[in-house]
Every structure is written in C-alpha cells, then in structure tokens.
C-alpha cells in the first residue's frame, strides 16, 4: 500500500507540539490572592466629601426692599393720572386684532405671521431677479460654447472642410427622400410569396437601402450645420 514520504516528519511535528497547550490558555497563570475578595458597596460611585459652609458667605442681593429701607420723602407730582389715563383711552387708536389661523373647527389658534402662510418673500428687493450665480453660470456656458465652436471651425479649416449651405442641404434632403420613395415603390412591387433565393436576396437588398436612406434623412434633419470634405 501507499505510504507518504512525509509521514515521519509529520509524526515528529505532532509529538513536538503535543503537550505545549494542554490547557485552555497559558500553562502557568498567577493565582489570585484570597485577600482580594469583592467587598460590599465597593463598586458603588463615591461622592466627593461635603464642604462645610462658611459663616462669612455673603447672601445674594435681593430685588425687594429691606425692612430697614425708607422711601424717599418730599417728592410730589401734580399730575392727575386718572384724567390722563381716561384721555389716553378715549383718544387712542383701537388695538388691531392679530391675524390668526385655526387648523380645524375646534383646534387651537396660531399666529398667522409666524406660520409661513404670509407671502413676505414677494416684498424683498431682489424678488424676481435672477441670482448672480445663475447669470455667471450662463455667461460661462456661452463663453465655453463660443470657444468650442471656434475650435471646431479651426479644426475644419485645417482639414479643408466646407459647410453646406441651406439650399444644398435642402436639395440633398429632397434627393434622399426621392430615392427612398423609388426604393419603397420597388419594394411594394415585390411578389407576395418569396419562394426563391434571388427574390429573398433582392428583398433584403431593398430593405437595407431603405434603412440606410432613413438613417441619412434623420441625420440631415437633426443637424442644421453640415460639413463635408473638399475633394
């Protein structure tokens, strides 16, 4: 039978490390002292020692007059407060009620001004004005678009490209549509039953021509500016 050549070395390693960790953990562990036992209330938080109140501590200043204080004497006023208050109540403007709102029939009342329902924002000086960052962003976009167009024109000049005029683009588009109608007329003239290989090849050819013409028409209609290479 088969016997591995590594068998002696494996047995040697096993015997070597067999008795090193017989227990769960180190072989020698310090035994705790019996004097260090858990005592009663030893884990409770200890409050700091209470300080003795000093007799010379000053009392806080009182807002009421003391018993020993006497009012200032000799000051008199000839003002008739009753008549003054009556005249002020008669001639004064009536107090306007504060606008409130109630969320339901028997609900609580809340101030309307602090509810956010009053359109105070329309009274701002900058209401309806385009923010500065939006204006700056639009100017940057326009500048980037001009730089891009200038780069394209420079690149096209280097490659000797010319731009098609509107009349040439219109005539090209009409020619493509006319060719598509002719191919479509030929496609409509095919027989209903395609039973031979030449008929099938001719049908696939017409379909590919129609797809290519439709793609060209869509590209020309989508792009207003078209460049072609000079021959």
- DSSP for 154-175 reads HHHHHTTEEEPPHHHHHHHHHH
- In angstroms, the CA 158 to CA 152 distance is 10
Residue 44 has which token pair? Answer: 């409770």
| Per-residue pLDDT tens digits of the chain, which is 231 residues long | 888 999 999 888 877 776 655 656 666 677 888 888 888 988 898 888 877 665 556 667 767 888 888 877 777 788 899 999 999 999 998 888 889 988 888 888 889 888 888 888 888 888 888 989 999 999 999 999 999 988 887 877 766 667 778 888 888 889 999 999 999 998 888 887 888 888 889 889 989 999 999 998 898 888 887 777 665
Q: Residues 92-125, buried b or exposed e (16+ Cβ, 10 A)?
A: eeeeeeeeeeeeeeeeeeeeeeeeeeeeeeeeee
Q: Give tens-digit pLDDT for 93-150.
A: 888 888 998 888 888 888 988 888 888 888 888 888 898 999 999 999 999 999 998 8
Count CA atoms within 13 Å of residue 70 on its CB side.
3
Cα angle 169, 170, 172 (rounded to 5 degrees) comes to 65
Q: Give the pLDDT score at 18.
A: 65
Max CA separation in the chain (angstroms): 134
C-alpha to C-alpha distances, 50 to 47, 53, 55, 60, nearest whole angstrom: 8, 9, 15, 22
Q: Give the pLDDT score at 68.
A: 86
Q: Residues 169-185, buried b or exposed e (16+ Cβ, 10 A)?
A: beebeeebeebbeebee
Q: Give the pLDDT score at 136.
A: 94
Neighbour count for residue 15 (Cβ, 10 Å): 9
Q: Give the pLDDT score at 168.
A: 85
* DSSP H or E segment with residue 178: helix 166-188
Q: Select from 105, 109, 223 the least CA-distant residue to 173.
A: 223
- In angstroms, the CA 23 to CA 84 distance is 101
| 226 bridge partner residues | none
Q: What is the pTM of this model?
A: 0.33
**Could you tell me if 227 and 163 are in contact, meaning their C-beta atoms sit under 8 angstroms apart?**
yes
* DSSP H or E segment with residue 204: helix 197-222
């Amino acid at each position: 039978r088969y016997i591995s050549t590594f068998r002696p070395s494996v047995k040697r390693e096993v015997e070597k490390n067999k008795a090193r960790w017989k227990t769960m953990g180190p072989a020698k562990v310090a035994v705790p002292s019996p004097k260090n036992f858990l005592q009663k209330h030893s884990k409770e938080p200890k409050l700091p020692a209470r300080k003795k109140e000093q007799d010379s501590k000053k009392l806080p200043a009182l807002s009421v007059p003391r018993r020993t204080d006497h009012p200032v004497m000799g000051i008199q006023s000839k003002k008739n407060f009753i008549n003054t208050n009556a005249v002020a109540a008669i001639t004064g403007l009536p107090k306007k009620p504060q606008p409130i709102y109630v969320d339901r029939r028997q609900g609580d009342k809340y101030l309307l001004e602090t509810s956010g329902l009053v359109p105070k924002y329309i009274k701002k000086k900058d209401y309806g004005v385009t923010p500065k960052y939006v204006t700056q962003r639009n100017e940057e976009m326009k500048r980037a678009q001009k730089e891009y167009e200038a780069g394209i024109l420079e690149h096209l000049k280097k490659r000797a490209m010319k731009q098609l005029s509107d009349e040439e683009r219109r005539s090209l588009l009409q020619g493509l549509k006319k060719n598509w109608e002719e191919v479509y007329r030929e496609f409509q003239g095919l027989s209903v039953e395609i039973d031979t290989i030449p008929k099938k090849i001719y049908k696939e050819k017409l379909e590919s021509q129609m797809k290519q013409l439709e793609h060209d028409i869509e590209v020309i209609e989508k792009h207003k500016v078209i460049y072609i290479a000079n021959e």
